[in-house]
Amino acid sequence: MKGVARNFFALAIIYAICGMVLGLSMAISQDHGQMPVHAHTMVAGFLMSSVFAFFYHLFPAAAASRLAPVHFWLTTLSGIALLVSLYFFLAGNPAIEPVTAIASVLFFVGMLLFAWIALPVLRRA
């Protein structure tokens, strides 16, 4: 695994560790107020990044496109901003909600970009 596929897989591992630490912390403290952040970390972070990694690994031509690194950075930066801002929002800081909203929209744009990259490749395969 190399390039953008490796980057997405490394990101997936980081998300998994962060999500599990948050899950353990909630279990130990018996305070599950951050459950949405845990779920978003594991699904949007770990699972989605893993899917992206394996797609780019299986289709190296897509990984070599100029849009693949854009997809990686858009997804990475918006995903981190989404999770951090959601954590603080749920911790009682409503002023950060616009950051969460913008990050969510940018993360969705990253998914649309992935569809733009992936669907033609799958059609040809």
Q: Residue count of the chain, please give it.
A: 125
CB 32 within 8 A of CB 13: no
pLDDT band at 115 (very low <50, low <70, confident <90, very high): very high
Average pLDDT over every residue of 19-47: 95
pLDDT for position 125? 76
* Residue 65 confidence (pLDDT) above 80: yes
The total of structural domains in the chain comes to 1
* Residue 114 confidence (pLDDT) above 80: yes
Tokens at residue 71, please? 């997809």
pLDDT for position 116? 97
CB 40 within 8 A of CB 82: yes
pLDDT band at 49 (very low <50, low <70, confident <90, very high): very high
Average pLDDT over every residue of 69-94: 97
Which domain, by its residues, includes 56? 3-124
Average pLDDT over every residue of 61-80: 96
Rounded-to-integer distance, Cα 18 and Cα 88, Å = 15
Q: For the chain, give the mean pLDDT.
A: 96
pLDDT for position 69? 97
